Amino acid sequence: MTANQYLEMYQRSIDDPAGFWSEIAETFYWKQKWSPEEVCNENLDVTKGPIKIEWFKGGKTNICHNAVDRYVEAGDGAKIAMYWEGNEPDQDGKLTYSELLDKVCQLANYLKSVGVEKGDAVVIYLPMLMELPIAMLACARIGAVHSVVFAGFSADAIAQRITDCKPKVVITCNAVKRGQKLIPLKDIVDASLVESAKNGVTVGICLTYENQLAMKKEDTQWIAGRDVWWQDVVPNFPTRCDVEWVDAEDPLFLLYTSGSTGKPKAPNYPDPGRCWDIVDKYGVTIFYTAPTLIRSLMRDGSVYVDRYSRKSLRVLGSVGEPINPTAWRWFYNVVGDSRCPISDTWWQTETGGFMITPLPGAWPQKPGSATFPFFGVQPVIVDEKGREMTGECSGYLCIKNSWPGAFRTLYGDKDRYETTYFKPFSGYYFSGDGCRRDKDGYHWLTGRVDDVINVSGHRIGTAEVESALVSHPKCAEAAVVGIDHEVKGQGIYAFVTLVDGVPYSDDLRKSLIMAVRSQIGAFAAPDKIHWAPGLPKTRSGKIMRRILRKIASRQLDELGDTSTLADPGVVDQLISLSDS
């Protein structure tokens, strides 16, 4: 797509959103079309009444049918729907659309047989097995609402979700291996069901997939009458299941957002070249990841990347946090061989899709910029009083219109939904992110606005300081938080992870501080640099800045729940190094 084509299409999406999105919707299958008057009903202004976002209300469709059935019906049933890559490089699998449809229908029929109906909830606690998307699609097929919980989350975290949505069924597997570590998922679910029962919520069925690559049946704890082996029941059901046609505004899933920046840890088993092995093995054309993973790969240099051709790659993608220019250039030059454009996308769990994103080849790239808005999205930058700013500016990023993928509410808490996202600036969706727009109209995400530090009257985005630190050739990753300062109001506390093999030293500390001073200014120089072998991240790779703030301020008795961390031991390491 050229820049002119983008501008023409984007302008139409803004001038006539109902017509634009109706044309997009027409590319899907609808059992019953929506009425032209019901394409969009919205109110984003709390002063005018309750927040309302509705698209295509009255239209009847089904996500599972659109994702699977229509391909089979079109004669593409023999095409590959998904590939699966296991823990070990020689563990893999694949499903055609026809095979996928059969397995989805069998599970859907089983769920119906145990009383799961339209609108009922199902909690899914599965690792990256093919049974995970099968379970999601089966729920969608019968109109059930699924809530996917990242495999490895604590029993307390699962219990909270079970208590919230009161599922009729929990779907899990007995265990999974991550690298050389065994994670007994079924044991974690068992503990969560004990906790949720204390909250008055009991679950009648725990459907458990036997993951033979990790654990055998006989080694799995079992509760008769509640626990059911997937392989014992699901394959016995018919491979055809009628679709439940649902309204466009019926709920599809519940998804928790972590509310922090950061993203996934690199797949590095059995070595840091695993990503590129997968790229070559399957002929991957689009590699979409996050700055955290990119920086993690940078620590190992280019040696593992250069072992593989990566010739199939066409586009690289980044998501989850602002990508600093150093990581962007490494990604572009080393991984993409200076030929693959990078789509540095901005979106959120709440938005349901891209909001600001480059379109490969449409315009010149600027390392670290999310560039321009996606079709139908009207981003605005406002000041503290909610006034829209034009031209080159910096402020709070808001969206002034609704879009089909927007989340409709916070489950069970409509008041907090309105208070958090719509009351800060009436008439807008408030993203919680800061944004800078340059003279060319490019958007630069500056991080969460609650990650702004006020140092002697200077408002400094933590992402700016982190980017300056990571630009240092010996710094692999950095996370910055604010601490109380008796003179400046707030000081800057930086957690720094060095490139592998680089020792900590006072000279290096001074060099890092100088990097910040030279790029931003003396006022942004860190007051404290805390050497960090690793940063506390959730299983999904989110950096837990709340924990970093507590460590920095020495509020060690207020760390809160650390069970969702990928490596809880990192916290103890950081505490032990806090005075070094």
Catalytic residues: 450
Tell me the one-letter amino acid at 418.
E
Q: Is the Cβ–Cβ distance between 199 and 236 less than 8 Å?
A: no
Integer Cα distance of 562 and 580 in angstroms? 23
Query: Angle between the 155-165 and 185-198 helix axes, to the nearest 10 degrees?
Result: 50
Question: Which residue in this structure is represented by tokens 């109380």?
Answer: 484
Residues 6+ apart with CB under 8 A from 533: 497, 570, 573, 577
Measured CA distances, 457 to 383, 420, 452, 498 (Å): 17, 26, 12, 31
Task: Supply 276's token pair.
Answer: 């590129």
Is residue 395 exposed (0-12), middle (13-18) or buried (19+ Cβ within 10 Å)?
buried
Confirm if 493 and 552 have CB atoms less than 8 A apart: yes
Phi-psi region of 386 (alpha: psi -120 to 50; beta: other; left: phi over 0): left
CA end-to-end distance (rounded Å), the chain: 53
Distance between CA atoms of 119 and 140, rounded to whole angstroms?
10
Q: H helices within 267-347, ranges in order?
A: 274-282, 291-298, 303-306, 325-330
Cis link prior to 367 (omega < 30° from 0)? Answer: no
> What is the per-residue DSSP string for 92-132?
EEEEEHHHHHHHHHHHHHHHHHTT--TT-EEEEE--SSTHH
Q: Cα 479 to chain center, whole Å?
A: 19
Residue 394, H or E segment: strand 393-399
What does the alpha-carbon distance between residue 215 and residue 213 come to, in Å, rounded to a whole number? 6
Alpha-carbon dihedral sign for residues 39, 41, 44, 50: negative
User: If we measure between CA atoms, which residue out of 143, 146, 138, 126 comes closest to residue 68?
Assistant: 138
Contact status, residue 405 vs residue 25, Cβ threshold 8 Å: no
